[in-house]
A and B are shown apart, each in its own frame.
Chain A
């Protein structure tokens, strides 16, 4: 399998007052062509920042402080703005978390799809109109609704429209930022099924940013777990869920219900909150919340290592993972940390 995107050693810093807050530090992951890669972690872990960095449309006070974004033979981190802009949406498109706020309220949905097709795809008005109808069919909305304004759509329809918009120019990579978070569970499933189907049909590569490990379990081929601005574990989803190597991944698994079999088991949250990124701790960033933290964990930061083929983890105690998994499956292990 060829690699479409390879993020290496990426750092992104926000200027807050006179301080630099490093939201993503020296992190990387790969996206093999034609797969869905999940980027999962708590809010504030840097996953959205990382995803947005791929489009290079980031907050005014943020900057890419280092690293490389190798995409299709180019380094996006170093590309001149004009070249980057030429590549936006044509090669990398984006599905936002809240389609309501991401669609312009004063234009009809059709206009907003046609705008991209005409301005960025160079289509004629007639071709764009036909394509817009085709896109609506693809995502399962009646094309009669094209003439609606965004506020006339339901939440699920808006999210589908956002997907249609993202697919408009046949991009190589779709970055979806919490695409179903705002929806109820039934609609979530429908949208994820739709996305999954389209991804297979079109051979798309997708990055799925989410805080919800059940969404990852349901849709993603590979999963990258982030914690406090760092990638802590990265492997194929089945392995990640069955044999996680990082205690944080183990904890996350306990904290979410399963999308496939709702209502099984008790949820155990991970106590505490992530460290302040303006002043990150020495050692492992998860150490303060980790039930298995040792002396070494508090003093020295673990480097990400490929411990098995295609399974990267950054944990000093990764070799004891089998034992730790057993401990981690007991709620009292985590409750003791509260």
Chain B
């Protein structure tokens, strides 16, 4: 049961972290220059609207009371009204979250599938010219600004070759009966392709390098030598025993990468006009739509923290030394 307990402790720790981030967020938006009401109230709101918001968020109260009102509102999912859209921030965020998650997960799945295979292959080719040529290329992909890679892909495959659309999630004037119909349409997928590849090319470096170095370590282990002494096939030695062990930390890093990728999304979504949380954050900040910016930031933070927890959980499930302690 100590496993359950340690997981509980970790959950509590991360809940505390979330609380701290929420507090930082509160301070960040209250301490910014200008009117303290500006965090929630746009001058163009009607008098009644302003009145209602002042009451809901206690904006006429001292800062510490505002803070508790803010926490209480958060717990009920109340994030205020967007200045630009005149709709509740929460509605806007739930609308955009799926787009961001689809982009994030599809790109990471591609990145990990490629990275794991290529990493294992490079470990196998250790000391060859292939490896010497591949490693700097991989490091260079990690050194690329993601948005620049997006620009290059966009210029080549959209503007020059015309193979893919330049931005958005679907062509103008198209509509679908359901979200499922939209997400499975070739229209949506062709819009997804370039931003997905941009993020995938950037992200494959981590699983690749991790897989490679793990493989190099694992292949020195005694049980690999034993597998050879047993006369097992190269497949069994390298894949069943080598890769299976090397994969453990790589799979854990997936969750961390999700959290990390959300941050990269901010720029790539902007390049491809992909209506997701990251682009929304940038636009909201640029347009001084503070409630929306705050909400988008918070949502990203929640996912980042949740993924840290998931990483711990994944590790304890995938490694029998922990799951069968």
Direct chain A–B contact by Cβ atoms under 8 Å: yes
Q: How long is the Cα–Cα vector from A96 to B233 in the complex, in angstroms?
A: 20
Say whether B236 contacts A104, CB under 8 Å: no
Say whether B241 contacts A104, CB under 8 Å: yes
Q: Which of A55, A57, A103, A115 contacts B236 (CB 8 A)?
A: A115
B3: chain A residues at CB < 8 Å are none
Chain B residue nearest to A59 in the complex (CB): B225
Q: Does A105 contact B (CB under 8 A)?
A: yes
11 A–B contacts, CB within 8 A, in A order? A90-B231, A93-B229, A94-B229, A96-B226, A102-B225, A105-B321, A106-B248, A107-B244, A115-B236, A119-B230, A149-B320
Q: Which of A55, A87, A103, A116 contacts B223 (CB 8 A)?
A: A103
A120: chain B residues at CB < 8 Å are 230-232
Q: Chain A: residues with CB nearer than 8 A to chain B?
A: 55, 57, 85-90, 93-94, 96, 98, 101-108, 115-116, 119-120, 148-149, 151-152
B244: chain A residues at CB < 8 Å are 104, 106-107
B51: chain A residues at CB < 8 Å are none
Given the contacts A96-B226, A102-B223, A106-B245, A149 and B231 also touching, CB distance less than 8 Å: no
Q: Does B217 contact A (CB under 8 A)?
A: no
* Beyond A88-B229, A106-B319, A115-B240, 17 additional pairs, beta carbon < 8 A: A57-B225, A57-B228, A85-B231, A86-B231, A93-B229, A94-B226, A101-B222, A102-B223, A103-B226, A104-B244, A104-B245, A105-B320, A105-B321, A106-B320, A107-B244, A151-B320, A151-B324
Q: How long is the Cα–Cα vector from A98 to B221 in the complex, in angstroms?
A: 11
Say whether B222 contacts A89, CB under 8 Å: no
A82 CB to nearest B CB, Å: 10
Say whether A149 contacts B223, CB under 8 Å: no
Which residues of chain B (214-266) have a CB below 8 Å from chain A?
221-223, 225-233, 236, 240-241, 244-245, 248
Q: How long is the Cα–Cα vector from A101 to B225 in the complex, in angstroms?
A: 10
Say whether A152 contacts B324, CB under 8 Å: yes
Contact with A along B297-325 (1 / 0, CB 8 A): 00000000000000000000001110011
Say whether B222 contacts A98, CB under 8 Å: yes
Chain A residue nearest to B324 in the complex (CB): A149
